[in-house]
Structure 1
Amino acid sequence: MTNTQNKTDVILIGAGIMSATLGSLLKELVPDWDITVFERLDNAGEESSNEWNNAGTGHAALCELNYTSEKSDGSIDISKAIKINEQFQLSRQFWSYLVNSNRIRNPRDFIVPLPHMSFVQGEQNVTFLKKRFEALSNNPLFQGMEYFDDHEKMKDLTPLIMEGRTSNEPVAATKIDSGTDVNFGALTRKLFDHLKSKNVEINYKHSVEDIKCTSDGSWELKVRNVDSGTVDLHTAKFVFIGGGGGSLHLLQKSGVPEGKGVGGFPVSGLFMVCNNPDVVARHHAKVYGKAPVGAPPMSVPHLDTRFIDNKESLLFGPFAGFSPKFLKTGSMFDLLRSVKMDNFVTLLAAGVKNASLTKYLMKQVMLKKEQRMETLREFIPNAKSEDWDIVVAGQRVQIIKDTEAGGKGTLQFGTEVVSDDDGSIAALLGASPGASTAVHVMLEVLEKCFPQHMKEWETKIKEMIPSYGVSLAKNPDLFKKIHTSTAQSLDLSEKESVYS
Structure 2
Amino acid sequence: MSNRQTKADVILIGAGIMSATLGALLKELMPSWEIKVYERREGAGEESSNEWNNAGTGHASLCELNYTVEKPDGSIDISKAIKVNEEFQVSKQFWSYLVNSKLIKNPRDFISPLPHMSFVQGEQDVKFLKKRFEAMSNNPLFDEMEYSEDPEKLKQWIPLMMKDRALNKPIAASRIAAGTDVNFGALTRILFKHLKSKNVDIQYKHNVDDIKRNRDGSWDLKIRNLDKGTVERHSAKFVFIGSGGGSLHLLQKSGIPEGKGIGGFPISGIFMVSHNPELVSQHRAKVYGKAAVGAPPMSVPHLDTRLIDNKESLFFGPFAGFSPKFLKYGSNADLITSVKGHNLVTMMAAGMKNVPLTTYLINQLMLSKEQRMAELREFIPNANSKDWELVVAGQRVQIIKDTPAGKGTLQFGTEVISAADGSIAALLGASPGASTAVSVMLEVLKRCFPKQLKDWEPKLKEMIPSYGVSLVQNPELIRQLHDTTARALDLHDSAPLQTAR
Give 1:494 deviation, angstroms: 4.2
Deviations 1:22-57 (A, max 9, x none): 000000001000000000001000000000000100
Deviations 1:102-130 (A, max 9, x none): 11110001000000000000000000000
Give the distance between the partners of 1:250 and 1:234, measured in 2 at CA: 15
1:108-123 matches, within 5 Å, as 108-123=108-123
Give 1:301 deviation, angstroms: 0.2
CA contact (8 A) 1:419 1:426 kept: yes
1:288-303 matches, within 5 Å, as 288-303=288-303
> One-letter code of the match for 2:303?
L
CA contact (8 A) 1:196 1:202 kept: yes
CA contact (8 A) 2:39 2:207 kept: yes
1:422 corresponds to: 421
Give the distance between the partners of 1:162 and 1:8, measured in 2 at CA: 57
CA contact (8 A) 1:273 1:391 kept: yes
TM-score (norm 2): 0.98
1:196 corresponds to: 196
1:3 corresponds to: 3
Give 1:169 deviation, angstroms: 1.6
Give the distance between the partners of 2:275 and 2:99, measured in 1 at CA: 34
SS of match in other structure, 1:3: coil
Are 2:318 and 1:312 equivalent residues in the alignment? no
SS of match in other structure, 1:102: coil
1:324-403 matches, within 5 Å, as 324-403=324-403
CA contact (8 A) 2:113 2:493 kept: no
The ranges of structure 1 where at least 4 consecutive aligned residues each deviate by more than 4 angstroms after the TM superposition are none
CA contact (8 A) 2:71 2:77 kept: yes
Deviations 1:134-177 (A, max 9, x none): 11111111121110101122122212111222233210001110
1:245-324 matches, within 5 Å, as 245-324=245-324
CA contact (8 A) 1:58 1:180 kept: yes
CA contact (8 A) 2:68 2:76 kept: yes
Give the distance between the partners of 1:232 and 1:278, measured in 2 at CA: 53
Give the distance between the partners of 1:157 and 1:239, measured in 2 at CA: 47
Give the distance between the partners of 1:336 and 1:76, measured in 2 at CA: 40
1:236 corresponds to: 236
CA contact (8 A) 2:148 2:154 kept: yes
SS of match in other structure, 1:332: coil
Q: Which runs of 5+ in 2 are unaligned?
A: 496-501
Give the distance between the partners of 2:265 and 2:276, measured in 1 at CA: 36
Deviations 1:357-406 (A, max 9, x none): 000000001111000000001111110111100000000000001112x2
Give the distance between the partners of 1:275 and 1:308, measured in 2 at CA: 11
Are 2:40 and 1:40 equivalent residues in the alignment? yes
1:151-166 matches, within 5 Å, as 151-166=151-166
2:499 corresponds to: none
Give the distance between the partners of 2:56 and 2:156, measured in 1 at CA: 25
CA contact (8 A) 1:275 1:389 kept: no
Give the distance between the partners of 2:165 and 2:151, measured in 1 at CA: 9
Are 2:92 and 1:98 equivalent residues in the alignment? no
> One-letter code of the match for 2:157?
L
Percent same amino acid at aligned positions? 74
> One-letter code of the match for 2:218?
S
Q: Number of residue pairs matched?
A: 495
SS of match in other structure, 1:373: helix
Give the distance between the partners of 1:221 and 1:38, measured in 2 at CA: 10
2:71 corresponds to: 71
Give 1:493 deviation, angstroms: 2.0
- Of residues 108-117 and 275-284 in structure 1, the stretch that sits farther from structure 2 once superposed is 275-284
Give 1:275 deviation, angstroms: 3.2
Are 2:454 and 1:452 equivalent residues in the alignment? no
> One-letter code of the match for 1:400?
I
Give 1:495 deviation, angstroms: 6.3
Are 2:406 and 1:410 equivalent residues in the alignment? no
Change (3 A) 1:176 1:468: same
> One-letter code of the match for 1:447?
K
Deviations 1:429-476 (A, max 9, x none): 000000000000000000000011110000100000000111111100
CA contact (8 A) 2:67 2:80 kept: yes
Give the distance between the partners of 2:48 and 2:423, measured in 1 at CA: 25
Give the distance between the partners of 1:62 and 1:117, measured in 2 at CA: 7
CA contact (8 A) 1:146 1:175 kept: yes
> One-letter code of the match for 2:438?
V
1:88 corresponds to: 88
Are 2:169 and 1:179 equivalent residues in the alignment? no
SS of match in other structure, 2:112: strand
Q: Which runs of 5+ in 1 are unaligned?
A: none
Give the distance between the partners of 1:164 and 1:75, measured in 2 at CA: 34
2:479 corresponds to: 480
Deviations 1:177-206 (A, max 9, x none): 000000000000000000000000000000
Give 1:3 deviation, angstroms: 2.5
Give the distance between the partners of 1:167 and 1:122, measured in 2 at CA: 11
SS of match in other structure, 2:426: strand
CA contact (8 A) 2:114 2:494 kept: no
Give the distance between the partners of 1:4 and 1:490, measured in 2 at CA: 43
> One-letter code of the match for 1:478?
L
Give the distance between the partners of 1:113 and 1:48, measured in 2 at CA: 22
Give the distance between the partners of 1:481 and 1:155, measured in 2 at CA: 32
2:498 corresponds to: none
> One-letter code of the match for 1:159?
P
SS of match in other structure, 1:469: coil
RMSD: 0.9
Give the distance between the partners of 1:296 and 1:304, measured in 2 at CA: 19
CA contact (8 A) 1:64 1:118 kept: yes
> One-letter code of the match for 2:220?
E
SS of match in other structure, 2:268: strand
Give the distance between the partners of 1:354 and 1:409, measured in 2 at CA: 9
> One-letter code of the match for 2:101?
S
Give the distance between the partners of 2:384 and 2:294, measured in 1 at CA: 28
